[in-house]
Amino acid sequence: GQQVMQIPQYQHVQEGEDFTTYCNSSTTLSNIQWYKQRPGGHPVFLIQLVKSGEVKKQKRLTFQFGEAKKNSSLHITATQTTDVGTYFCANPGGKLIFGQGTELSVKP
């Protein structure tokens, strides 16, 4: 399966600051999925991006798929303490291959 790399590994922000995590692949992806895992929890599906250049929003979360379909990003505007967790991108090519994740901590 195609590996996806995520940066940064950790991000500590003050509540109200923005947060972005990036996902990169060396090869073209057919689509990409994003998951959130709260501390001690299980991965929860957030969204799937399929089209080149696609942008999708879920309230304060904005997901982008690059034009070349080799990278993706998740941006959270004005973080809240409920955003704490690890955000994974994943390549769903028949089996879901997760990136290493970005662990977000939010200081109130």
User: Which of 31/73 has CB closer to another protein?
Assistant: 31
Q: How far is the CB of 106 from another protein (least distance, A)?
A: 19
For residues 31 and 93, is the Cβ–Cβ distance under 8 A?
Answer: no
User: Which of 4/106 has CB closer to another protein?
Assistant: 4
Q: How far is the CB of 78 from another protein (least distance, A)?
A: 25
Question: End-to-end alpha-carbon separation of the chain, Å?
Answer: 39
Contacts 24+ apart (CB under 8 A), 40-44: 41/85, 43/88, 43/98
Tracing tokens 């904005």 back to the chain, one arrives at 62
Q: How far is the CB of 12 from another protein (least distance, A)?
A: 16
Q: How far is the CB of 16 from another protein (least distance, A)?
A: 28
Residues forming the site for another protein (CB under 8 A): 1, 30-31, 33, 37, 41-45, 47-48, 50, 88, 92-101
The two three-digit tokens of residue 77, written as one number: 């505007």
Quote the CA–CA distance of 79 and 58 in Å, as a whole number: 13
User: Which of 42/108 has CB closer to another protein?
Assistant: 42
User: Which of 19/87 has CB closer to another protein?
Assistant: 87
